[in-house]
Each structure stands twice: as C-alpha cells, then as structure tokens.
Amino acid sequence: MALVAAVALLAVAATACVAAAPASAEMQISDMCFVDASYGWAVAISSDGYGSYAVVRTTDGGETWTTQKSTGAFNGTGLDVDFADRNIGIWVNSYIYRTTDGGRHWKRLRYPTASWGASHVDFATRSRVWLAGTYGSDGGGRCVGRSTNGGRTWRTRMNRRTMPGVAPSGLSAPTGSTAYIWSRGLWVTRNSGASWRRVRTNYAFKKNAWWMIDFPTARIGWVLRYDSASLLRTRDGGRHWTKQMRGLRQKLTDMDFVSARTGWVCGAAGAVYRTRDGGASWQYLKVPTDDKLISVDFCDAQHGWVATDSEWGSWNYIYRTSDGGDTWEEVW
C-alpha cells in the first residue's frame, strides 16, 4: 500500500460525518487503497485554500470519486487508509476512524494510550490490524497498536521513548503476529507485539532519510528511500539486503508488492518498474505522462493505479491498468 506522510504533529480534527458528495477535481491524492478492480479509497488534500483532509471513494475503478469524510482542517500527522474488504476500513489522521459500511459512516475510536498520533495502518487479516505513529506532546516516542477485532478496540504493542520528530516512516504487517516498522532502522516483532527487536543489517542505511517498507511475507521485503534511486530487497527478515536495479539514476517515490515475486515501484517522469521474479529482473513500464508519480497501488497481479504528484493549487491525474502495467489509461 502506498503512503507519503507529513511529519508534523498537529492535533486538530473534526468528528462529524459529512454527507457524501462528488469529489472535486482539485483534490490532491496522497494515498490509495483498492480492494478489487472497482472499489478503492484514497486520502486527499483539498486545494480549496484550507488544505482540509478527506477520504474519497470510487466504485468504478477510479473514474469517479465521492467524498466520504473530511476533517475540515489541516492535520499533518501522516495520512493512511486501509481496507480489509469493501466494508471494513481504517483511516488514521492523528486520530483513528473506522467504518463497517464502506465509508458511509465513520466512527472515531479511542487510542490504547493517551497522547498518541497514528500515521500508518495495515490490515494483516480481516480481523488483525496494526497501526504505528508517535506519542507525547513533542512527538518524542514511537508507538504501535494492534487490534484483533477488525479495529474495534486496540492494545498497545510498543511505546518507546526516542527523540522529538523521529516518527515511524513505514509499517508493514505481513501476518497477524509479524509486523515491521521503520524508525531510524528496522524493527520487527514475531510474537504479536509482545517484544520487539531492532534488526541488525549488512547495509548502512542513511538514518535521517525517509525509508518506506513493504513485506509481502514474514521474511521477504523491500525498502525504498523516498525520492531517490535506492531500492533494496531482503529474504531473511532484514538481516541482509541486496540493492535492486543497480545503476538506476531515476528517483523512486512509492512501491507495492502483491506477493513475494510480483511488485511495482514508481517514480519520476511517469516511470513504473515491475518485477515478476522477486527482484531478479525488472521491466520498465511507461505511464503516458511526464509527471512525477507519487502513489502506486495494485489489488492483484493485473489491476493497479498510479497517481501523479501535484503542486499546491493543482490536482492529481490517476492512471489505471488491467494488464499488470503493460498499458495504462487516464481515468481521473
């Protein structure tokens, strides 16, 4: 699943549910989540001058979008939305919001610990959900929560003091008991969060860089340094990493893997790269745009979407593929 998160901690949100309305074309998409070829959700920032955040939904593969819920204010903790199916979903925007009817109604939930600010959410199964973020008035701690009932209630699975501004930049939960976060290094739990350890690796990761992670299985995963050409793969849970696409100069921005063998990364100038053999080889696929791509999401090996980057006051374009990325069409 795709995510470009802001790192400021601003605790402003509205809890009222808003009536569904067609989404404005001037909505800046920052994260997408599709559960099948038709149904998908995205976090969008309105360019109405107020910068309010909203969840929008499509039921026709991205051709039209409906605004489901808006905070009514700018809240820059990090924007992530994930759905288990067409009905059950979680949106985190400092607070936690949950829906059981596809987003027609959203309920704000309690955090397991006070002073939390969630920025990442990931459904491992329909019932087991993980979230990650920071806690404390200065954002000086990393926290992880876990739910075993589809996000209805949560338990604290990590509460560690770090330093102000060091928020997890990635969360990936391949199973209900195994989860990874990136917070100045890779952390893993294999016992449902009862204990965590920092993974010692063979690669010197730049600590202050923004690293994204995606683990389709409990051992196989990828890390991507946002807005750079750095993409690496591990087959042993993060101890050893191999650099992918050596010699690549193009900047990458997002990735999505639907299995241990099949995944995509996107980046500058409409570029998408696909692997079908677990990273042994990569194929260049061109989206019909020269814009930078900011988000990629696939619901299976064939159906996927990318969104272009947008400057403030403009809007995203969304492109869709139904053949694994060989061809793309503009849908929004």
Domain that holds residue 302: 217-332
pLDDT tens column, 194-242: 999 999 999 999 878 889 999 999 999 999 999 999 999 999 999 999 9
Domain CATH code at residue 332: 2.120.10.10
Which of 157, 155, 135 is CA-nearest to residue 144? 157
Whether residue 40 lies inside any domain: the answer is no
Q: Say which residue the tokens 């900011």 belong to.
A: 294
pLDDT tens column, 82-135: 999 999 999 998 789 999 999 999 999 988 777 788 889 999 999 999 999 887
Whether residue 310 lies inside any domain: the answer is yes
**What is the token pair recorded at 182?**
């990136």
Residue 328 has phi, psi (to 5 degrees) of -135, 150
pLDDT tens column, 291-318: 999 999 999 999 999 999 866 556 789 9
What confidence tier does 326 reach under pLDDT thresholds 50, 70, 90?
very high
CA angle 304, 302, 91 (to 5 degrees): 35
Structural domains counted in the chain: 1
Residue 301 has phi, psi (to 5 degrees) of -75, -10
Whether residue 312 lies inside any domain: the answer is yes
Whether residue 68 lies inside any domain: the answer is no
Whether residue 269 lies inside any domain: the answer is yes
